[in-house]
Amino acid sequence: MSVQTVSDVKATGPNEHGYRRFSLGELTFARDEYFVYIKWPTGRHVMSADGFLRALQRDVAWEFFYGIVNFDGVIGTVNHYGTVDLFAGRYNDAYRKAELDHLENFPTPLIKATFKAILEDWTNSTFDPFASPHETGTAFGPKAGDNRAAVTRRRVAAKRMVGVPEDEALRSDANGFPINRHFVDVPQDEPEVVVEPGFEGQVSAFNLFAYLSRSNVTWNPSVVSVCKDSLYCPTTEEYILPIIHGNDRVEWFVQLSDEIYWDVEDRDTGAVRAKVVMKPGDVAAMPADIRHQGYSPKRAMLLVWENASPDLPALIASGKAPTNPVNF
């Protein structure tokens, strides 16, 4: 099996706006000061550059996530955990009926290298795709520097629990995580932990809400605790989820603070299924056959709960596991 490397990324030199043009299979990607232009053999599509970069950032950082990452109603990726489909119109009923949709499958290293190269080339020094719109500068204009530190952030992934020895560190002013402007009223007290002699390092607790109040990114689930394949992936949400997530497994949400509105659509056609309003303490499942996008008027704490079992997509696709979370 050949190993795909960054050298496989196909790109031109800079255009008149300073941005390189990329190609991956039969798809091409170009941008100017405001827009991104995607072409494939049977069609073309235009997206706003800021929205495209926010979606691309998450797809890259999440290693293509669980299931489908729709950049919008036309463009997106499907993770097959080793390979990735890049599609245009495949999960859009009108494109399918018109037979204008397109899908190509790539080894994960190749599409990841290409997406990373686009992200790094098209993100200007003023723009942070992970930040809320109020906390970043513009994505627009001719090419102006880069923001490599922002687009290559390391994703937090605790092996056991944040704060236990040799695992992910707590956040503080000292290590570069000030309290977010929307969370200045969140108590920062830590739990009182008393450890008996001989059990040092075995008794651990931390303030999850304070930890989340210091997150400098939005819509970026990160693992804080691990019970076998059960992962707590809390995240702080502000403005709009930049992707429409199509589930390949059941996913659960626990609203820890504030309020989020969700649009839920059929995963394959985009037909509207439901609206979900979540307030503090609410719990809701996202079935394995839908796609969803959230709207958060104030920065909110959301606990995303995932079952990371690699067997789940095949079990659900074969009908051996249900698309519904529970039956009653």
Partner 1 sequence: MTKYVTRFGSLASYEKGGVEIIDDDPKRYAFSNIFEVASRSKPYAKVAVGKNMQYVLEVIRAEGTSEWRAAAHDEFALVMDGEVEIRLLKLADPSGVRPNHEGSIRLSGEPAGRKMGRVRARRGHMTLLPAGAAYQFHADRPGVVLLQTIAGQDTQYRWSEICQTM
Q: Which of residues 143-202 bind partner 1 (CB under 8 A)?
A: 160-162, 164, 181-187, 189-196, 198-199, 202
Give the helix/strand (H/E) hosting 77.
strand 75-79
Residue closer to partner 1 (CB basis): 1 or 271: 271
Whichever of 146 and 268 has its CB closer to partner 1, that residue is 268
Beta-strand pair 10-11/22-24: antiparallel
Interacting residues with partner 1 between 73 and 112 (CB under 8 A): none
Which positions from 255 through 314 interact with partner 1, judged by CB under 8 A? 255-259, 264, 271-287, 298-299, 305-307, 309, 312
Identify the residue among 15, 83, 125, 204 touching partner 1 (CB under 8 A): 204
Site for partner 1 in 11-40 (CB under 8 A): none
CA dist., res. 256 & res. 7, Å (int): 44
Select from 225, 229, 250 the least CA-distant residue to 327: 250
Q: Least distance to partner 1 from the beta carbon of 46, Å?
A: 28
Report the largest interatomic distance among the alpha carbons of the chain, rounded to a whole angstrom: 71
Cβ closest to partner 1, residue 99 vs residue 192: 192
Instruction: Supply φ then ψ for residue 70, to 5 degrees.
Output: -85, 120
Site for partner 1, residues 217 to 236, rule: CB under 8 A: 224-230, 232
Question: Amino acid identity, residue 150?
Answer: A
Residue from 35, 37, 177, 209 touching partner 1 (CB under 8 A): that is 209
Looking at the DSSP bridge assignments, the partners of residue 27 are 24
Q: Return the closest-CA partner of residue 292 out of 315, 256, 314, 260.
A: 260
Q: How many residues make up the chain in this entry? A: 328
Return the CA Rg of the chain: 21
Residue placing its CB nearer to partner 1 in the complex, 15 or 323: 323
**Smallest separation (angstroms) from partner 1 to the CB of 128:** 20
**The two three-digit tokens of residue 230, written as one number:** 């059960």
Please say which residue, 51 or 234, places its beta carbon nearer to partner 1. 234
